[in-house]
Chain A
Amino acid sequence: MIPISYYILLSAILFTIGAVCVLIRRNAIIIFMGIELMLNAANLAFVAFANQHQSVSGQIIVFFVIAVAAAEVAVGLALIVTIFRTKRSIDVDQLSSLKG
């Protein structure tokens, strides 16, 4: 049997990849994918910990996180499409009309 710590390590690596992806990529969709990766890393951690503690609640939370992530996708993709219609680009570096 694979020890719990391996799962946690994997989820930590996925979370870090997601966070780094948000910070260094400039395409809004890719950034968004990084955020989704962070959420799913948390899901993996939840399931692994739920197994360790023999508690169902960790698995229940995953459903909540999936539902919330779906709601975020709906809103996020709509926003990105709207921006693309006006600017013909989803490069976040070109979103710089607001400055002070």
Chain B
Amino acid sequence: MTTIDFYAILPLIILVAWASALLLLDLFFTRKIEGLTPILAALGLLITLVISALNPVAGSTAFNGMIEADGFSSYLQILFAGSGIVGIALAYGYLKRMGINRGEYYPLLLYSISGMILMAQAADLIVVFLALELLSIPLYILAGIARPNPASEEAALKYFLLGAFAGGFVVYGVALSFGATGTTSLSGIVAAVDSGLANMPLLLIGAGLILIGLGFKVALVPFHMWTPDVYHGAPTPLTAFMAVGAKAAGFAALLRIFLAALPVLAGNFVPVFWILSALTMFAGNLIAIVQDNIKRMLAYSSIAHAGYIMMAVVAFGQEFVSKDAVASSLFYLLAYAVTNFGAWSVVIALERAEGKGLQLEDYYGLGKKYPVLAAAMLVFMLSFIGVPPTIGFMGKFYLFRTVLEGGYTWLAVIGVLTSILSAYYYLRVVVNMYMREGDPEIAPDRLVQLVSIVGALAVVLLSVFATPLFRWASRAVLNIF
């Protein structure tokens, strides 16, 4: 292992070592450090975040080209570590309140984030597969951490079975790609295709299988069936984290694999991406309309947003907008993360034991009784729809602009139409909060309220600073080509 290798995976090393140490600490000193575990876990994530941001070996590859330490990975690593910290803040009071304060929650969360961090750096299909499993396996356990609550157990088993099923597709896809080109490294595959040595039909089938597997992970229609059940049954702070982290990691892999390979596969895959994106936007938003449970509604909303991010992958097929396409998808992931955590924090504040407080009727009268929280929720809903001045609007603006420039007018039209459609169910929450009488009760959880308020401010303020943020995202993609 050379020095560059070491520095390239330094965030990963620190996070894994930290999580393992935390697991042991929690095992041997359960009584003494109770309440300290989440703080230590957050500290570990903070250190990881700082190192990822510094990225001492920017632009270099490590481990014979298996690991890439570029702006793209650094951007996503910051996003993952940041989501982890917010996820811990949301879980802290919630786990105690619901009587599921188990010490292994936080180390497992760290392990999962380490998988995401590895995924952002993957430049080889083996690493993609390993990272995918490293991030998924802890999430299966975390989804079931509220046992013996049947809903949580059911969510865990469903997530596990479908996640492992998807993993099988990814492995077989990797096997066929390896067979077609004789290598698993992304640059090697592109080189093999360019030199005409690759077995193209085999490679296309392989790439298609990988797409199916990753489509499960990011919840694209028609591979989304597990999402509502798992998001509904899992503990809410975990759902919030999964909706951001697991989805962004899946997109990291999709972008890496298909962006490296798209120039050679574009003709075959752009129509597939087009259909997946349009289907996901339509189905996600349509089914969300009929949901009465806010967790299921937000689950379908997360499916719909995967469709929007997929638009960027479609546009990547056009050479001249390819950089903007990646940058706008990275920006959208950030916008979605901020908005999503905010919305879930309000859901967590209203949730009570045994799955109560999750129906849309439970939001009646929130505006009168808790004006600040209701205002925050209003901001998040507007950002989900894409109304200015929110970061969600800027995200959609960059995305639609790229898609239009790429010449996919109809896809942009579908995007705008489905956004209008989505206004119906997002505004239903707002109507319930402000125009109905009710007496909601919120949990006395300062941290969760802090996340709501900071999130709402961030959604508005970041939209003002959208241009520098977008430039940061653009710089992140400069050196992946």
Contacts and interface: CB of A to CB of B under 8 A. Distances in A.
Interface stretch (B173-181, B391-399, B429-437): B173-181
B223 to A, nearest CB: 13
Interface of B: 126, 129-130, 133, 137, 140-141, 144, 147-148, 150-151, 153-158, 160-161, 164-165, 167-169, 171-172, 174-176, 178-179, 182-184, 228-229, 232-233, 291-293, 296
Given A64-B126, A98-B154, 18 more contacts: A35-B161, A39-B167, A46-B178, A49-B179, A55-B182, A57-B178, A72-B137, A72-B167, A75-B141, A76-B164, A79-B140, A79-B157, A82-B148, A92-B161, A95-B158, A98-B228, A100-B228, A100-B293
Contacts of A10: none
Nearest to A37: B168
A100 B168 contact: no
A75 B160 contact: yes
Given A72-B164, A98-B229, A100-B293, A83 B157 contact: yes
Contacts of A39: 167-168, 171
Contacts of B168: 15, 18-19, 35, 38-39, 42
Most A C-beta atoms less than 10 A away, residue of B140, B154, B291: B154
Contacts of A86: 147-148, 150, 153
Contacts of A64: 126, 129-130
Q: Lowest 8 CB-CB distances: which A-B pairs, in order?
A: A38-B168, A49-B179, A53-B182, A45-B175, A100-B296, A42-B171, A98-B229, A42-B175
A10 to B, nearest CB: 13
Interface in A1-46: 8, 11, 15, 18-19, 22, 28, 31-32, 35, 38-39, 41-43, 45-46
A46 B175 CA distance: 5
Contact of A32 (B147, B164, B179): B164
Contacts of A45: 172, 175-176, 179
Contacts of A57: 178, 183-184
A100 B232 contact: yes
11 contacts: A28-B161, A39-B168, A49-B182, A52-B179, A71-B137, A76-B160, A82-B144, A87-B150, A95-B157, A98-B229, A100-B293
B164 A28 contact: no
Contact of B161 (A31, A48, A52): A31
B129 A98 contact: no
Most B C-beta atoms less than 10 A away, residue of A53, A64, A65: A65
Contacts, number: 131
B147 A82 contact: yes
Contact of B144 (A41, A53, A79, A97): A79
B291 A100 contact: yes
Contact of A28 (B141, B155, B157, B183): B157
A66 to B, nearest CB: 11
The binding surface of chain A is classed by DSSP as helix
Most A C-beta atoms less than 10 A away, residue of B141, B157, B293: B157
B292 A100 contact: yes
A55 B141 CA distance: 36
A5 B151 CA distance: 46
A68 B133 CA distance: 7
Contact of A15 (B155, B172, B183, B292): B172
A32 B168 CA distance: 11
A79 B133 contact: no
A86 B130 CA distance: 32
Contacts of A68: 129-130, 133, 167
A49 B160 contact: no
A43 B167 CA distance: 13
Contacts of B144: 79, 82
Contacts of A80: 157
A41 B172 contact: yes
A19 B209 CA distance: 12
B326 to A, nearest CB: 28
A26 to B, nearest CB: 11
Contacts of B137: 71-72, 75
Interface in A65-93: 65, 68, 71-72, 75-76, 78-80, 82-83, 85-87, 92
Nearest to B230: A98
B153 A71 contact: no
Nearest to B182: A53
A65 B164 CA distance: 12
A51 B154 CA distance: 42
B179 A8 contact: yes
Contacts of B154: 83, 95, 97-98
Contacts of B233: 97-98
A89 to B, nearest CB: 12
Contacts of A100: 228, 232, 291-293, 296
Nearest to B168: A38
A78 B141 CA distance: 9
Nearest to A60: B126
A75 to B, nearest CB: 6
Contacts of A46: 175, 178
Contacts of A76: 140, 160-161, 164
